[in-house]
A and B are shown apart, each in its own frame.
Chain A
Amino acid sequence: MDLFGLFGKRKEQSKNVAKERLKLVLVHDRADLSPKLLEMMKSDIIRVISEYAEIDKNGIDIKLTRMKKEGENSPVSALVANIPIIKVKDK
């Protein structure tokens, strides 16, 4: 019996919101990396890469996530960076 369906009022389950938020804070908690520190890392990474290439600053996505490592049971923290390169600089 689906009461939401019955009354035509289907909304997102709040537990999924909780889960996603929780996963995100735990990634930072576990790596002992604050959003502020991540921001600092991010700008350093961008600065270094900018020396070699012209990058699309709006398309940058750098975040901390959890990843399963080959042959290991528990996931490890991973920094995933997606940095679109417009043009490699001539050196």
Chain B
Amino acid sequence: MDDQKKGKAIVITSGKGGVGKTTTSANIGTGLAMNGNSVVILDADIGLRNLDVVMGLENRIVYDIVDVVEKNCRLKQALIKDKRFEKLFLLPAAQTRDKTAIKPEQMIELIDELKKDYDYIIIDCPAGIEQGFQYSIAGADEAIIVTTPEISAVRDADRVIGILEAKEIHNPKLIINRIRPDMVKKGDMMNIDDIVDILAIDLLGIVPDDEAIVISTNKGEPVVMEEKALAGQAYKNITNRIMGEEVGLLNLETEEEGKLSKILKLIFGK
């Protein structure tokens, strides 16, 4: 067993759509690879493939996950090697099929296979709690819940946490995405404590609503590679925590407050 590597499969899920699962998957996967880990990011959103464009690998797809499951190709043939990192791979979703194309057992088999050769398997789960969600969590050892500071996203996150617990995926970790420190400060957006209190799970990290994410997605380059971007720093911290390091939370409030209060002090002198 010693020469057989045993990787860890982590599903990125949220319930609600549009909260940043795919961006989170791309950045965590890339961040882990930047640290020398071998990583496969698996796009489980069959029919609505997107991880390929976020990663900037859309032109390289030949086979996809359904081809692997249906044995039209070997697993290694479907894995797309990243342009930037030697040990980073993407297993793309099929675009012209639907979520009935994969069964949970097939997913378990596929992930077990990947875990032999790679340190981390990051599963980008589709929105919802139906079939796509069910097969996405089937092979996962751990889960990361992505939410935003909105009622609907937190509600869905709570629901997903309950389902994961029932499926015996314990202790999911939370990422709060798209925080706007200016709105939090005014009391017009739930803050980190509010959300952590309500969901009652461990916080893995916070990511600010950062223009840099839009720009990096436009270019197909995960923001985690961007040293200077606040969101890049946030994902870097998250990656380090996944690897077991203790990293303090990014202080969004003071950075934003810093600028604002400086201006206010100039105007009001206090």
| Contact status A1-B187, CB under 8 Å | no
CB distance from B123 to the nearest CB of A (A): 25
| Contact status A15-B187, CB under 8 Å | yes
| Contact status B158-A15, CB under 8 Å | no
Chain B: which residue is nearest A75 at the CB level? B200
| Contact status A23-B159, CB under 8 Å | no
CB within 8 Å for A13 and B155 given contacts A1-B270, A19-B194? no
Identify the stretch in A24-32, A39-47, A52-60, A81-89 within 8 Å (CB) of chain B at 4 or more residues. Answer: A24-32
CB within 8 Å for A29 and B155 given contacts A13-B187, A15-B190, A15-B194? yes
Chain A: which residue is nearest B161 at the CB level? A30
Chain A: which residue is nearest B260 at the CB level? A1
CB distance from A2 to the nearest CB of B (A): 10
Q: Does B127 contact A (CB under 8 A)?
A: no
Chain A: which residue is nearest B152 at the CB level? A22
Q: Does B154 contact A (CB under 8 A)?
A: yes
| Contact status B264-A29, CB under 8 Å | no
Interface residues of B in 124-154 (CB under 8 A from A): 150-151, 154
| Contact status B191-A25, CB under 8 Å | no
CB distance from B259 to the nearest CB of A (A): 13
Q: What separation, in Å, do the CA atoms of A21 and B151 have in the docked complex?
A: 8
User: Chain A residues with Cβ under 8 A from B200's Cβ?
Assistant: 74
For B170-187 the 0/1 string (1 means CB < 8 A from A) is: 000000000000001011
Interface residues of A in 6-28 (CB under 8 A from B): 13-16, 18-19, 21-23, 25-26
Return the contact of A22 from the options B189, B198, B268 (Cβ within 8 A). B198
CB distance from B86 to the nearest CB of A (A): 44
Per the CB 8 Å criterion, the residue count for chain B at the interface is: 21
| Contact status B194-A30, CB under 8 Å | no
User: Chain B residues with Cβ under 8 A from A19's Cβ?
Assistant: 190, 194, 198
| Contact status A22-B188, CB under 8 Å | no
User: Chain A residues with Cβ under 8 A from B36's Cβ?
Assistant: none
| Contact status A16-B268, CB under 8 Å | no
Q: What separation, in Å, do the CA atoms of A22 and B198 have in the docked complex?
A: 9
CB distance from A25 to the nearest CB of B (A): 6
CB within 8 Å for A30 and B162 given contacts A13-B188, A22-B155? yes
| Contact status B188-A14, CB under 8 Å | yes
Q: What separation, in Å, do the CA atoms of A69 and B204 have in the docked complex?
A: 27
User: Chain B residues with Cβ under 8 A from A25's Cβ?
Assistant: 151, 155
Interface residues of B in 71-97 (CB under 8 A from A): none
Most B CB atoms within 10 A — which of A13, A18, A22?
A: A22
Q: What separation, in Å, do the CA atoms of A14 and B151 have in the docked complex?
A: 11
Chain A: which residue is nearest B190 at the CB level? A15
| Contact status B154-A22, CB under 8 Å | yes
Q: What separation, in Å, do the CA atoms of A21 and B154 have in the docked complex?
A: 11
User: Chain A residues with Cβ under 8 A from B151's Cβ?
Assistant: 18, 21-22, 25
Chain B: which residue is nearest A14 at the CB level? B188
Q: What separation, in Å, do the CA atoms of A26 and B195 have in the docked complex?
A: 12
| Contact status A15-B188, CB under 8 Å | yes
17 CB-based A-B contacts, threshold 8 Å = A1-B264, A1-B268, A1-B270, A13-B187, A14-B188, A15-B189, A15-B194, A18-B150, A18-B190, A19-B194, A19-B198, A22-B151, A22-B154, A25-B151, A25-B155, A30-B158, A74-B200
Chain A positions within 8 Å of B, measured between CB atoms, are: 1, 13-16, 18-19, 21-23, 25-26, 29-30, 74
